[in-house]
Amino acid sequence: MRADGTIGTQAKGTMDRREWSRRTLCLVAGVQIFGSRVLAGQDAGPAGKGAPDTSEAELEQARKSLAKAGIGPINTIHSAHYQAIGDAPEAFMRVMLGDCEQLALDFDKHFRSRGFKVHPADRRLTVVVFRDNRSFSRFFPQLSSGRPTGRGPSVQRVGNYSRATNMLYVFDWRMVPMEPRSSHRNAETLAHEGIHQLSYNTGLLGRDRDVPLCIVEGIGLYGEARQVTGPSDLGRVNLRRLEDLARLQRVVDWIPVRELFTDDTVLQAGKALRVLLGYAQSWLLVHYLMKEPEVMPRFRDYIGALAMRRGSEHRIDDVQDHLGDVARLDRELRSYAIRLQRSM
């Protein structure tokens, strides 16, 4: 929802966080808002007039894709800023959309308070919610079967955000047999993939711009560690990724920061343990850039510079212009990892 759109008689540019919160509270209570009227159990309509609303088109696209994969029966529900479709029970969909609304609030508060230029999405965002991992695997066989990673175990996807469709895809971990801490896995997966979706729909990152994958995934990992319910600020120490940093470096060499920025395949292919280390280092990188007071303004400028990039030829130039010498950044990141590990 951008500043040039409106809802009812209120311009979106004047809709502050208090109004956003009011709408989300009404959502949790089972009602939706349109303008100044509260409509129980009715569709709140398109997000606004300032940009073309593609929400219904996305729903129809998802419905056709689900039918093609033989997934059904299909449920569809809406909240103030999201819509869900899939074969999951409606009750679980409502939980997921409530979590999405809270995540959007936390995301906006966190990045706006640090001076990043973000805005609410200009339409409802679409979440495809599967009943279990079997439906997810039927829809994404190429992801769920594990990507080739050389020797060792495969890396499997447990959720997905697609830049091509702009949709978020998740399933209910509680329906996976013998899966421990299933509610935590639901919250973690939704947070990671949901932050990808928010990053590309709030102006933080550009869907048609070149952004190093270590930054894309690092931002998702930065917000991955959340409480299972309720508000939860981004940037908590991700203990699982911190443990991976210590454990994996016993068998896999540290990935140089230069390689992390310039070679996206580090996070996409190769030996599974090295891919996992790449993810852990990506989390560490963004956590460092966001948490160190003297570095964060430079990271904010770096993110701004990425808005101008459509090709990857300037990646190292952008790093050195805004984040400093790459070799020094590599040393600082190693030291930061040690500091975090000692503080735990």
Half-sphere exposure of 39 (CA within 13 A, CB side): 14
pLDDT of residue 68: 97
Cβ of 83: how many Cβ atoms within 10 Å?
A: 23
Asked if 114 and 158 sit in the same domain, the reply is yes
Question: Mean pLDDT score of the chain, rounded to an integer?
Answer: 85
Buried b (16+ CB within 10 A) or exposed e, 197-211: bbbbbbbbbeeeebb
Residue 130 backbone phi and psi in degrees, to 5: -95, 150
pLDDT of residue 227: 83
Which of 189, 206, 223 is a domain's end point? 206
Residue 238 corresponds to which tokens in the numbers above?
A: 């991700």
Confidence tier at 51 by pLDDT (50, 70, 90): low
CATH number of the domain that residue 171 is part of: 3.40.30.160
- pLDDT higher than threshold 90 for residue 316: yes
CA–CA distance from 188 to each of 33, 96, 159, 195, 223 (Å)?
A: 28, 12, 10, 11, 9
Confidence tier at 215 by pLDDT (50, 70, 90): very high
Asked if 183 and 223 sit in the same domain, the reply is no
Average pLDDT, stretch 211-221?
98
Asked if 202 and 80 sit in the same domain, the reply is yes
Cβ atoms 35, 8 nearer than 8 A: yes
Which of 149, 181, 206 is a domain's end point? 206
Percentage of the chain beyond pLDDT 90 is 74
Reported as a single tens digit per residue, the pLDDT across 108-160 is 999 999 999 999 999 999 999 999 999 999 999 876 544 444 444 445 578 99
How far is 195 from 18, CA to CA, in rounded Å?
A: 21
Asked if 231 and 293 sit in the same domain, the reply is yes
Cβ atoms 275, 267 nearer than 8 A: yes
- pLDDT higher than threshold 50 for residue 9: no
Asked if 338 and 301 sit in the same domain, the reply is yes
Cβ of 314: how many Cβ atoms within 10 Å?
A: 15
**Which residues sit opposite 126 in a β-bridge?**
83
Note the Cα 199 to chain centre separation in Å: 7
pLDDT of residue 38: 25
Closest CA to 220 of 286, 281, 164: 286
Radius of gyration of the chain (CA): 20
How far is 41 from 316, CA to CA, in rounded Å?
A: 51
Helix axes 315-322, 326-343, angle to 10 degrees: 70
Closest CA to 6 of 43, 53, 42: 53
Of 50-64, 169-183, 263-277, which has the strongest mean pLDDT?
A: 263-277
Cβ atoms 55, 9 nearer than 8 A: no
Residue 63 backbone phi and psi in degrees, to 5: -60, -45
Closest CA to 326 of 196, 239, 208, 212: 212
Asked if 156 and 253 sit in the same domain, the reply is no
Domain ranges, residue 164? 1-206
DSSP string of 290-308? Answer: HH-TTTHHHHHHHHHHHTT
Q: How many domains does the chain have?
A: 2
Asked if 191 and 220 sit in the same domain, the reply is no
Which of 178, 206, 234 is a domain's end point? 206
Asked if 200 and 293 sit in the same domain, the reply is no
Among 6-10, 171-175, 203-207, the minimum mean pLDDT is found in 6-10
Asked if 161 and 21 sit in the same domain, the reply is yes
List strand residue ranges (DSSP E) for the chain, in order: 6-7, 10-11, 31-34, 37-40, 75-78, 82-86, 125-130, 160-162, 167-171
